[in-house]
């Protein structure tokens, strides 16, 4: 056994040495090419720890390099993501922006992080029409007439939409069948100036899966990922990206991360791609795009779990999983594993999962984050460099720009992993009326009541899942970093915050960076970043539960959407004095949850009516039962629960609230909450 162990160590060391030699060889042979000049007003390009930013002189050279890296990765034992062959369509000029009559209407927009930077979502409106992405269709609804007027069938599954004047941009994705293939992401452009007759105006197709998307003044920015392998070389409309626009950043990259820009009015495009570790989150301001990358402990744990399963599964199944892993096709291996587990009797499946989970628990996984900085102006995108930070970024709200600096919050910890047990095919589905107990408190005055919800029309189908769960090991620590993107260095740091807890939510409001950490109670921290070199905690509040999303209300008031004792809780905080933060009111819905806990696009606010709307589940069934309308005019109060099973979004146009599910749209009066109409999406 000792001899086998030493042989593995020697093999790993040899693989690492080969990788280092490969990188050194290409560092000497690949010509160093100056970066594209930054646009006017953008910060100058700085190395940021990269001694020589290098690109490739030919497509053949690029393929040769990633082929060698792929061989070294297999020998070293690391399995990157693999996704699948691009499908190409011909691009044609797009329609010009068309002005509508939306200026005379009051309507909600997508809840975004940065004003002026739109985010991809499944629902968009200009006050005139409502566009809803649902699977392989996009439906257009006349907001005034309250009726479905047309439907679009894009070439793939609609991931989300952008709306710019009379132009609708649909982001679609296709996952071709077959291991080792690469997924494709398309930006399809439609002229909807006449929404009764939408007309296709072109499409741009990129290889890769979507990491994130933004839009500024009609220019769409897509961040895409493909594996660092020959089949993963980024393609645009079927043609490989120009090799001089691909930069080698990490010594042993696991993916191509491509930033693509498309002007919806002119059809102009621009791309730049980096060979780096897996991209996780993006953040965008008016002049910069930031991409966070890390070696995901989830991905590493899943790959390890699949490798363990391959050793305990029957010969043919185990060999198939190993074959997919050796090819770097993590999704293909996972598909085989899930099919195998689903085919077993319950007792046998539990025993296999127990053995795999026990072996998996012996491994420790950890993570650091690298922030990549791009300057942007229209379709001109220039890579500036990177900065490395300790820990993991929670989500996009953990990154915020402040007076030319980037504020980043991370949680640093080690992780262990275990397997998720097989789920029953059908969860408990209500067949009779169910209710939500509502507790409303303002100050010391509390009242309790019960809201009754009718059962859903039909139960959903939930297949069993083979997956891993990662959990922190030991005491975690939280950090706030202040980064100069112009100099690509950390200028200030607040470390060791909330030992043993992790960050659940973050939000920058003025000079204050609010953080929510959690283990047993919910500390809401107010961090002063007015002096970037010396961020400091001004005050904090500890209450039961935790907040997952924070939303500023103005006047020092802050709304938190979170969980307490397993139930949905909406809290109103008075942070006007950051040294003495108070929770002044809350609404708690027993047994309920909300998509707004993990997707801020599900949060809708009507400031003039002091009204917030979020989808909520009923009981423990996990299905949104409707949209909760919560008033924050005097404390917090649940005004009404607009019943709509499956509703995951809400928006308003004038005095009509639209609740959106994948199969229907309902309309309610915003003052009385009377149901006005329902539109099936067919």
Please tell me the predicted confidence (pLDDT) of residue 620. Answer: 67
Residues 376 and 456 in one domain: no
Which pLDDT score, from 0 to 100, does residue 70 have? Answer: 67
In-domain check, residue 485: no
Query: In this predicted model, which residue has the larger pLDDT, 650 or 304?
Result: 650
Give the pairing type, strands 157-164 and 147-152.
Answer: unpaired
Determine the pLDDT at residue 251.
67
Q: State yes or no: pLDDT of 85 exceeds 60.
A: no
Distance CA 328, CA 318 (A): 15
| Dist CA 262 CA 562 (whole Å) | 37
Q: Does residue 377 have a pLDDT over 90?
A: yes
Can you give the CATH number for the domain in which 641 is found? Answer: 2.40.10.480
Domain count, the chain: 2
Average pLDDT for 30-51: 35
612, 610, 565: which is closest to 588 by C-alpha?
Answer: 565
pLDDT of the residue at 507: 93
| DSSP bridge pairs for 552 | 558
Mean pLDDT of 421-430: 56
CA dist., res. 594 & res. 84, Å (int) = 33
Residue 635 lies in a domain: yes
Lowest mean pLDDT among 80-89, 217-226, 613-622: 80-89
Task: Report whether pLDDT(66) > 70.
Answer: yes
Residue 596 has pLDDT above 90, yes or no: yes
In a shared domain, residues 386 and 449: no
For the cut 50, the answer to whether the pLDDT of residue 296 exceeds it is yes
Determine the pLDDT at residue 129: 97
pLDDT, mean of residues 86-94: 38
What tens digit of pLDDT does each residue of 448-482 get? 999 888 887 765 544 456 778 877 677 788 999 99
Encode pLDDT of 633-648 as tens digits: 999 999 999 999 999 9
**Of the candidates 589, 501, 476, 495, which has an alpha carbon nearest to the alpha carbon of residue 537?**
495
Domain annotation covers residue 515: no
CA–CA dist 228, 279 (Å, integer): 12
447 and 373 Cβ atoms separated by less than 8 Å: no
What's the start-to-end Cα distance of the chain, in Å?
Answer: 62
Are 383 and 447 in the same domain? no
User: Is the Cα torsion angle 503, 504, 507, 512 positive or negative in sign?
Assistant: negative
Nearest to 548 by CA among 529, 578, 571: 571
Any domain includes 239: yes
Lowest mean pLDDT among 112-121, 133-142, 176-185, 648-657: 176-185
Question: How would residue 503 be classed by pLDDT, with cut points 50, 70 and 90?
Answer: confident
For residue 623, the model assigns a pLDDT of 87
More confident residue, 484 or 337: 484
Per residue in 130-175, pLDDT (tens digit) is 999 998 999 999 999 999 999 999 999 999 999 999 999 999 998 8
Average pLDDT over residues 61-74: 71
Q: Is the CB of residue 246 less than 8 Å from the CB of residue 55?
A: yes
Q: Which of 68-72, 105-109, 338-342, 527-531 comes out lowest in average pLDDT?
A: 68-72
Q: What is the pLDDT of residue 453?
A: 84
Q: Which long-range contacts (CB under 8 A, 24 or more apart) does 171-174 make?
A: 171/120, 171/210, 171/213, 171/222, 173/209, 173/210, 174/87
Residue in 437, 438, 440 with CA at minimum distance from that of residue 585: 440
| Confidence label for 389 from pLDDT (cuts 50, 70 and 90) | very high
Whether 362 is covered by a domain: the verdict is no
What percent of the chain has a predicted confidence (pLDDT) above 90?
Answer: 56
Last-in-domain residue among 358, 390, 422: 390
Q: Is residue 529 part of a domain?
A: no
- Mean pLDDT within 518-523: 67
Q: For the segment 277-290, what is each residue's pLDDT rounded down to a tens digit? A: 889 999 999 999 99
Work out the angle at residue 260's Cα, subtended by the Cα atoms of residues 54 and 596, and round it to the nearest 5 degrees. 120
Residue 466 lies in a domain: no
Decide if pLDDT at 487 tops 60: yes
| Half-sphere exposure at residue 514, Cβ-oriented, CA atoms within 13 angstroms | 28
The confidence band for 353, taking pLDDT boundaries of 50, 70 and 90, is confident
Confidence of residue 308 (pLDDT cuts 50, 70, 90): very high
**So what's the pLDDT on residue 19?**
42
What range defines the domain where residue 630 resides?
A: 432-460+591-682
State the sign of the Cα–Cα–Cα–Cα dihedral 540, 543, 546, 550.
negative
Furthest CA-CA distance within the chain: 78
pTM: 0.77
Please report the pLDDT score of residue 3 as a whole number. 40
Q: What is the pLDDT of residue 496?
A: 84
DSSP 26-84: HHHHSPP-PPPPPPTTSPPP--TT-S--EE-S-HHHHHHHHHHHHHHHHHHT-------
Q: Say whether both 436 and 386 belong to one domain.
A: no
Q: Is residue 672 part of a domain?
A: yes
Q: Is the pLDDT of residue 245 over 90?
A: yes
Burial of 461 (0-12, 13-18, 19+ CB in 10 A): exposed
pLDDT mean across residues, the chain: 83
């Amino acid at each position: 056994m000792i001899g086998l162990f030493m042989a593995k160590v020697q093999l790993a060391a040899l693989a690492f040495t080969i990788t280092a030699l490969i990188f050194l060889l290409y560092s000497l042979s690949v010509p160093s090419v100056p970066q594209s000049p930054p646009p006017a007003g953008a910060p100058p390009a700085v190395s940021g720890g990269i001694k020589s930013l290098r690109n490739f002189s030919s497509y053949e050279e690029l393929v040769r390099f990633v082929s060698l890296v792929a061989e070294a990765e297999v020998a070293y034992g690391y399995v990157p993501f693999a996704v699948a062959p691009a499908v190409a369509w011909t691009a044609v000029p797009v329609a010009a922006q068309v002005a509508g009559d939306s200026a005379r209407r009051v309507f909600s927009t997508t809840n975004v992080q940065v004003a002026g930077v739109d985010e991809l979502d499944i629902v968009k409106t200009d006050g005139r029409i409502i566009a809803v992405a649902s699977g392989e269709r996009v439906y257009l609804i006349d907001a005034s007439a309250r009726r479905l007027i047309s439907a679009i069938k894009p070439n793939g599954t609609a991931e989300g939409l952008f709306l710019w004047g009379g132009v609708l941009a649909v982001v679609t994705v296709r996952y071709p069948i077959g291991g080792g293939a690469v997924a494709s992401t398309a930006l399809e452009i439609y002229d909807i100036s006449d929404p009764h007759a939408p007309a296709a105006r072109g499409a741009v197709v990129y290889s890769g899966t979507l990491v994130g998307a933004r839009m500024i003044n009609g220019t769409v920015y897509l961040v895409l990922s493909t594996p660092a392998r020959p089949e993963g070389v980024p393609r645009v409309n079927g043609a490989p990206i120009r090799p001089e626009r691909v930069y080698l950043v990490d010594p042993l990259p696991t993916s191509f991360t491509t930033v693509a820009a498309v002007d919806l009015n002119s059809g102009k495009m621009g791309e730049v791609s980096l060979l780096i570790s897996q991209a996780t989150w993006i953040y965008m301001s008016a002049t910069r795009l930031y991409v966070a990358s890390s070696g995901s402990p989830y991905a590493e744990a899943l790959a390890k779990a699949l490798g363990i399963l391959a050793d305990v599964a029957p010969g043919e199944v185990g060999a198939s999983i190993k074959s997919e892993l050796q090819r770097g096709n993590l999704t293909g291996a996972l598909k085989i594993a899930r099919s195998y587990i689903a085919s077993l009797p319950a007792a046998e499946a539990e025993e296999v999962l127990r053995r795999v989970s026990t072996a998996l628990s012996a491994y420790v996984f950890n993570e650091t984050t690298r922030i990549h900085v791009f300057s942007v102006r229209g379709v001109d995108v220039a890579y500036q460099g990177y900065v490395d930070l300790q820990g993991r970024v929670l989500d996009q709200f953990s990154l915020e720009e402040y007076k030319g600096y980037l504020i980043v919050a991370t949680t640093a910890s080690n992780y262990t992993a275990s397997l998720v047990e097989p789920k029953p095919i059908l969860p408990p589905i209500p067949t009779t009326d169910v209710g939500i107990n509502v507790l409303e408190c303002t100050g010391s005055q509390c009242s309790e009541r019960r809201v009754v919800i009718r059962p859903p029309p039909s139960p959903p189908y939930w297949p069993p899942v083979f997956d891993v769960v990662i959990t922190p090991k030991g005491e975690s620590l939280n950090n706030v970093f202040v980064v100069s993107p112009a100099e690509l260095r950390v200028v200030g740091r607040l470390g060791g915050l909330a030992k043993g807890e992790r960050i659940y939510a973050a939000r920058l409001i003025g000079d204050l960076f609010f953080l929510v950490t959690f283990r047993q109670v919910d500390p809401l921290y107010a961090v002063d970043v007015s002096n970037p070199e010396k961020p400091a905690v001004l005050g904090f509040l500890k209450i039961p539960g935790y907040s997952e999303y924070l939303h500023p209300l103005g006047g020092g008031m802050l709304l938190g959407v979170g969980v307490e004792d397993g139930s949905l809780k909406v809290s109103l905080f008075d942070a006007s004095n950051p040294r003495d933060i108070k929770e002044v009111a809350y609404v708690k819905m027993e047994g309920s949850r909300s998509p707004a806990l993990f997707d801020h696009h599900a949060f809708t606010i009507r400031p003039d009516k002091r009204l917030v709307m979020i989808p909520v589940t009923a009981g423990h069934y996990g299905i949104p039962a409707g949209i909760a309308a919560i008033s924050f005019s005097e404390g917090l109060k649940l005004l009404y629960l607009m019943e709509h099973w499956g509703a995951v979004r809400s928006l308003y146009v004038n005095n009509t609230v639209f609740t959106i599910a994948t199969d229907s749209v309902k309309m309610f009066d915003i003052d009385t909450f009377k149901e006005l109409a329902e539109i099936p999406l067919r």
